[in-house]
C-alpha cells in the first residue's frame, strides 16, 4: 500500500498530537511530535542557565546547539513514544508550564529551527509518517500529500490544557493557562522565521465543537482517500 506524509499544523492545545497519534496508530505510521523537540531545546537552555526569566543568551545557545542530541524512543510498557535529550528521558519535564512559558522565544531562533527541521526531514524521508507542529505543511514537508490545519477558540483550548494539567496535579489557574495560550498564539503567528500559517493546500478543521472521535474519522477518511489515490 502506498505510504503518504501527513502534516498536522495548528495553534497550541488544539489536540494536534492526540489526533496525530491516533492516525499513526491506525495507519501503522511513525508519529513525530515536533513541539517536543522545541520544548527539549528550551529545557536544555533553561538547565544550562542560558535562558531565564530575565535573560536569554541566544548567541550562547546557538554556539552550543551541536551539543544537543535528540531522539525519540518507544516506551515498552506504555507503547508511547518519548523524547530523550542527550540520552535522558525528558518527556515529563518538557510538558510543564515552566517549559511551556519559555519555549516560544526559543522557537523564533532560525539556527534552532534549521537544526530541528533537518532532523525532521530525515525522520520523514521514507514517508509513512504523521508529523505535528506549526510549519510542517509549509516548511518541513511542503509536498505532504495531506495537510491539516487545526484551530479552536482560545477558551476551549485553555480549558482542555487546564483539565490535563489539573489531572497531573499541577496547581496552575485557568487564567494563567489562557494567558500562556494567547501569548504563544501571538509569538507563533508573528515570528519572522516560519510563522504559523495555514498552507494554501491545507484543510482547516476547527474542533471547538467537534468531539475527538468525529475528528479522527474526518481526518482518517481524508488520509485513506489520498492513500488509494481518490484525490
Q: Which residues bind ligand DC (CB under 6 A)?
A: 12, 34-35, 38-39, 103-104, 107, 133-135, 184, 188
CA-CA distances (angstroms) from residue 57 to 9, 34, 48, 49, 50? 29, 23, 11, 9, 5
Q: Which is nearer to ligand DC, 28 or 143 (CB)?
A: 143
CB 136 → ligand DC: shortest distance, Å? 6
CB 56 → ligand DC: shortest distance, Å? 15
Q: Which is nearer to ligand DC, 22 or 34 (CB)?
A: 34
* Residue whose entry in the numeric block shows the C-alpha cell 495560550: 181
Beta pairing partners, 150:
10, 205
Q: Do the beta carbons of residue 40 and residue 90 sit within 8 Å?
A: yes
Q: What is the DSSP pairing of strand 70-74 with strand 81-85?
A: antiparallel
CB 2 → ligand DC: shortest distance, Å? 25
CB 229 → ligand DC: shortest distance, Å? 28
> Distance between CA atoms of 173 and 144, rounded to whole angstroms?
38
From the number of C-beta atoms within 10 Å of its C-beta (0-12, 13-18, 19+), residue 62 rates as middle
CB 100 → ligand DC: shortest distance, Å? 7
CB 109 → ligand DC: shortest distance, Å? 10
Contacts of 209 (CB under 8 A, 6+ apart): none
Q: Which is nearer to ligand DC, 29 or 102 (CB)?
A: 102
Q: Which is nearer to ligand DC, 187 or 227 (CB)?
A: 187
Q: Which is nearer to ligand DC, 122 or 230 (CB)?
A: 122
Q: Which is nearer to ligand DC, 145 or 188 (CB)?
A: 188
- Reading across the β-sheet that carries 81-85, which strands appear in turn? 70-74, 81-85, 88-89
Amino acid at each position: 500500500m502506498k505510504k503518504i506524509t501527513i502534516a498536522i499544523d495548528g495553534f497550541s492545545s488544539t489536540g494536534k498530537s492526540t489526533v496525530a497519534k491516533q492516525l499513526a496508530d491506525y495507519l501503522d505510521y511513525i508519529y513525530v511530535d515536533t513541539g517536543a523537540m522545541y520544548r527539549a531545546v528550551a529545557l536544555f537552555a533553561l538547565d544550562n542557565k542560558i535562558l531565564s526569566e530575565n535573560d536569554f543568551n541566544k548567541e550562547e545557545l546557538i554556539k552550543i546547539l551541536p551539543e544537543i542530541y535528540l531522539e525519540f524512543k518507544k516506551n515498552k510498557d506504555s507503547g508511547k513514544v518519548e523524547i530523550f535529550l542527550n540520552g535522558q528521558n525528558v518527556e515529563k519535564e518538557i510538558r510543564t508550564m515552566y517549559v511551556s512559558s519559555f519555549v516560544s522565544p526559543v522557537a523564533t531562533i532560525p539556527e534552532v529551527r534549521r537544526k530541528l527541521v533537518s532532523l525532521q526531514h530525515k525522520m520523514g524521508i521514507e514517508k509513512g509518517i504523521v508529523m505535528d507542529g506549526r510549519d510542517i505543511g509549509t516548511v518541513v514537508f511542503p509536498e505532504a500529500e495531506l495537510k491539516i490545519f487545526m484551530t479552536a477558540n482560545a477558551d476551549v483550548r485553555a480549558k482542555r490544557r487546564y483539565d490535563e494539567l489539573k489531572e497531573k496535579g499541577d496547581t496552575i489557574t485557568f487564567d494563567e493557562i489562557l494567558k500562556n495560550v494567547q501569548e504563544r498564539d501571538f509569538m507563533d503567528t508573528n515570528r519572522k522565521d516560519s510563522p504559523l500559517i495555514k498552507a494554501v493546500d491545507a484543510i482547516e478543521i476547527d474542533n471547538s465543537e467537534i468531539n475527538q472521535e468525529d475528528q479522527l474519522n474526518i481526518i482518517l477518511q481524508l488520509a485513506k482517500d489520498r492513500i488509494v489515490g481518490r484525490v
